[in-house]
Structure 1
C-alpha cells in the first residue's frame, strides 16, 4: 500500500507496453487518413481513409461548401503534421481552421479506439472480458500489486486513495486493467466499477469516453462510436477551456511526496500545466521512450524549477 501521496504522470510512452501508439505513429497514421485525393470527378477519395470521408459525407452531403472545407482542411492537416512534433503541434498551427481542428480530433478518437481494439488489453472475443494474463507484465500491474499489498480485501477500496494519475493520454488502459485486475483477485464487478470510478484520475486533455457503463458517455474499450458524439470529451493543448480542475491538479502535485513520470515526452506545453506556484522538495522519477541519454540533463533542467 502507499502510505504517502504519490502522483503518476502518464504519457504516450507508458502505453507502448500495451501496444498503444507513440505520438509520432499516431500523427503519421492521421496524416495518411486525412490526405484526401480525388480522381476523375469521383465522389470517393482515391487516397485518404474512405470510412472517414464517408463519415463526413453522411453528415455534410447537403452542405457541399462545408464538406469541401473539411477535405481541404484534411490536406492542410496532413501537410502540417509532416513537419510537426505531434498532432497537437500541427493542430496548433491550424488552430484558426475550425474544420482542420475538428477533423484532427475526430481522427484522434477513431485512432485511439482502433488502438485499444488491437491492444494487449483488448477484450477477448470469446469471453467479452480481459484474458487473465493480459497485461500482467505491464507497469499498471506493478503499481496495482504495490497498492494492494498489506491491504485487507474488505479495505481494498482504499488502496488507491494516495495515488493520483495525471493522464495525458486519451486511452483508458489504466482503467481497463484495474477494472479486471480487481475482479481477478475476487472483488465483485459492482465494487470494482466503483473503485475504478473513484480513482484520482486527472485528464488534462480528456479521453474518448467513460469505460464504465454506469457513467455517461460510456464507450466500450476499443468499441465503435460516432466520433462526432465524443468531440466534447477531448481537448488539445491549443484550446483554452480546461477539462479538469486545475486547482485539483496543482494540489495533487503539491502534496505528493513522489512524482513519477512514465513515458512522458516533457513537451513545453504539457509542462506548463504542471507548474507549481509554491514548489516543494520531493522525489521525482521519470522514464522516457525513444529519447537519447544526452537529453536527460535537459529534462532535469525543465523539472527542477517545478519540483525543487
Structure 2
C-alpha cells in the first residue's frame, strides 16, 4: 500500500475485516503455553501483594486481544469493576504504535470506542479509520514519543513476538534509550529465527540483547527473565 496510496483505504478495511472476525469474548486464549495467562497472573499477583509498579506494553499489532484479556482477567480475579478496577489498572498502559481497532470502552484516549467483538453498524469503517500503515507513522509522532519515554524509564525491557523489521527497530531506537549507562540486558523471544538472524539483531542492539535458542517462544522468555515482575 506504500506504493499504491489509491489502495490505502480499501487496504485498511481489508485488514480490519480480517482481524475483527477473531474478536470472540468467549474464546479461551491458548489453553496450553499461554503467555497471556502467565503475564496476567504475574500482574495480578503483584497488585494483590501491593507492589504494583508501572508496566507499559508497546505493540505494533492492531488487534486488541491482549487489552481485552488483561482487563477481563483483572476483573474476574479481583472481583471488582468500574472505577475501582480502573484504579487497579492505572499502572498498566498499552500503547498501540500503529493504532488499533478502536479503543475499548474502558480505555482512556482519543478516538471512538468499540466493544470487543462488536461488528454492528459502522464497526468496520470506524476500526479501519483508526489504524495506520507502517509508512504513515514515523519516530517523531506523539505515540512514538510516548514509547521512547517509556523505554527510557524502563528498568527491564522484553521483546515478545517481535519481527525486528528494520523500520520498526529504527523508530524504536531513535529514542536513545539503548545508550543509557544503566541499561541492563534486554531479552527477546526468537522462536523460528536462525543463528545468523539472531546475530544480526545482536549487532543492531550493540550486544545488549539476549535471544536464547532454547525456550525461545514468548512464554519461555517470560519464565526465564531474571526477576520478571517479582
TM-score, normalised via structure 1 length: 0.56
| 2:50 is aligned with 1:169 | no
| 2:214 is aligned with 1:301 | no
Matches within 5 A, 1:134-149: 134-135=29-30, 137=32, 138-149=34-45
The equivalent of 1:200 in structure 2 is 93
The equivalent of 1:221 in structure 2 is 116
The equivalent of 2:217 in structure 1 is none
Q: What CA deviation, in whole Å up to 9, does each residue of 1:228-265 have, x standing for no partner?
A: 22333111111147774333211211121211000000
C-alpha distance in 2 between matches for 1:150 and 1:194: 14
Give the conservation status (yes or no) of the 8 Å contact 2:144–2:172.
Answer: no
Larger Rg: 1 or 2? 1
Call closer, same or farther: CA 1:294–1:193 in 2, change over 3 Å.
same
Q: What CA deviation, in whole Å up to 9, does each residue of 1:139-184 have, x standing for no partner?
A: 122122222335437x5xx73x421111110011211111111122
- Which of 69, 75, 78 aligns to 1:183? It is 75
Instruction: Describe the SS at the equivalent of 1:235.
Output: coil
C-alpha distance in 1 between matches for 2:80 and 2:158: 30
Call closer, same or farther: CA 1:93–1:196 in 2, change over 3 Å.
farther
Q: Which runs of 5+ in 2 are unaligned?
A: 210-230
TM-score, normalised via structure 2 length: 0.73
Give the conservation status (yes or no) of the 8 Å contact 1:208–1:233.
Answer: yes
The equivalent of 2:219 in structure 1 is none
Between the two structures, name the one with larger relative contact order (CA 8 Å, sep ≥ 6).
1
C-alpha distance in 2 between matches for 1:194 and 1:110: 33
Compute the displacement of 1:211 (Å). 2.0
